[in-house]
């Protein structure tokens, strides 16, 4: 059966998952209208609804909400912190160059909630639902499923172009390296069948990149920094080792717990 027919066939048989996807589409429109309110309410509320539905239907076990292998997943995913430290370093250096603004603690708290909400939602939806549907229900090849889920993760960042068309270089770079990070998160998730580890890593990674701008500057300067061509190029170069590392994990763990 063709790939798209498998997807539609599955959605017809699983109305609850279809409703979650529909609800997510509505939230995507909300995101376009106001990304901050989406992060504050949409991400957290949607995550809560997904978890509630998953618990009622018994799908919660598929997500991998368990204590087992959290530490192993964090250790395997720890290289993501190096990229986060790099982002933190250049962010602080750039803010120092343009001049620190007065600390805005309220904005920092708002962005912190935004990061937690979006990180939680993205992992639940893309790894917990989409990746599992592709592998287990649509019977798509594991590697192809990983690439599809990661591509969705990266391409959806195009919404950041809304009202920011002058930062197309930064957002194109962001879309590219988030595809790689999506692959990275996916192979760790599939290896240990534990979603907590990638949620934690994802949130920490985003914290390092965004909080300095939220606290001491403006979020617009994040896109301004990554629009600098040399910085955008470095972002992409740094993504290469993570892609190779992800491939290494995948090749050396053909029998992944979550894909059995």
pLDDT in tens, 36-68: 555 566 678 778 888 887 888 777 888 888 888
Both tokens of 203, joined, read: 């949130």
129 compared with 3, residue with greater pLDDT: 129
Contact status, residue 199 vs residue 77, Cβ threshold 8 Å:
no
CA triplet 161, 167, 171: central angle to 5 degrees?
Answer: 60
* Residues whose CB falls within 8 Å of the CB of residue 102, separated by 6 or more in sequence, listed in order: none
pLDDT at 219: 76
Region label for 31, one of left (φ > 0), alpha (ψ between -120 and 50) or beta (otherwise): alpha
Q: What is the mean pLDDT of the chain?
A: 82
pLDDT band at 259 (very low <50, low <70, confident <90, very high): very low
Contact status, residue 178 vs residue 123, Cβ threshold 8 Å:
no
pLDDT at 257 > cutoff 50: no
Contact status, residue 208 vs residue 181, Cβ threshold 8 Å:
no
pTM: predicted TM-score of the whole model, two decimal places: 0.84
Q: Which long-range contacts (CB under 8 A, 24 or more apart) does 254-257 make?
A: 256/142, 256/187, 256/190, 256/191, 256/193, 257/190, 257/191, 257/192, 257/193
Range of the domain at 103: 3-259
Using alpha carbons, select from 126, 125, 109, 122 the residue that is nearest to residue 210.
109
Count: domains in the chain:
1
pLDDT at 10: 59
Taking the C-alpha atoms of residue 145 and residue 142, their distance in angstroms, rounded to an integer, is 5
CB atoms within 10 A of CB 194: 24
pLDDT at 255: 52
Taking the C-alpha atoms of residue 246 and residue 240, their distance in angstroms, rounded to an integer, is 10
Both tokens of 95, joined, read: 């803010």
pLDDT at 258 > cutoff 50: no
pLDDT band at 134 (very low <50, low <70, confident <90, very high): confident
Contact status, residue 47 vs residue 121, Cβ threshold 8 Å:
yes
Least confident of 103-112, 123-132, 180-189, 242-251: 103-112
Mean pLDDT throughout 89-107?
83
Contact status, residue 189 vs residue 195, Cβ threshold 8 Å:
yes
Taking the C-alpha atoms of residue 6 and residue 68, their distance in angstroms, rounded to an integer, is 32
pLDDT band at 198 (very low <50, low <70, confident <90, very high): very high
Contact status, residue 185 vs residue 198, Cβ threshold 8 Å:
yes
């Amino acid at each position: 059966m063709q790939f798209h027919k498998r997807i539609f066939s599955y959605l017809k048989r699983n109305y609850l998952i279809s409703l979650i996807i529909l609800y997510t589409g509505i939230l995507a429109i909300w995101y376009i209208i106001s990304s901050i309110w989406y992060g504050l309410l949409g991400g957290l509320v949607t995550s809560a609804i997904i978890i509630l539905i998953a618990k009622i239907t018994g799908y919660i076990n598929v997500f991998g909400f368990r204590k087992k292998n959290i530490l192993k997943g964090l250790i395997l995913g720890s290289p993501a912190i190096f990229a986060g430290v790099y982002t933190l370093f250049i962010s602080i250096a750039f803010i120092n160059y343009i001049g620190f603004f007065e600390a805005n603690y309220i904005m920092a708290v708002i962005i912190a909630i935004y990061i937690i909400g979006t990180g939680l939602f993205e992992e639940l939806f893309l790894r917990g639902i989409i990746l599992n549907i592709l592998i287990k229900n649509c019977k798509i090849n594991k590697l192809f499923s990983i690439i599809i889920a990661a591509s969705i993760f990266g391409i959806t960042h195009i919404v950041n172009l809304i009202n920011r068309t002058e930062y197309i270089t930064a957002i194109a770079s962001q879309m590219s390296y988030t595809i790689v990070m999506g692959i990275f998160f996916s192979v760790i998730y599939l290896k240990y069948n534990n979603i907590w580890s990638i949620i934690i890593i994802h949130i920490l990674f985003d914290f390092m990149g965004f909080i300095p701008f939220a606290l001491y500057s403006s979020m617009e300067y994040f896109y301004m920094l990554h629009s600098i061509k040399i910085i955008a190029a470095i972002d992409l170069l740094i993504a290469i080792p993570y892609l190779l590392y992800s491939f290494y994990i995948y090749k050396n763990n053909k029998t992944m717990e979550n894909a059995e």
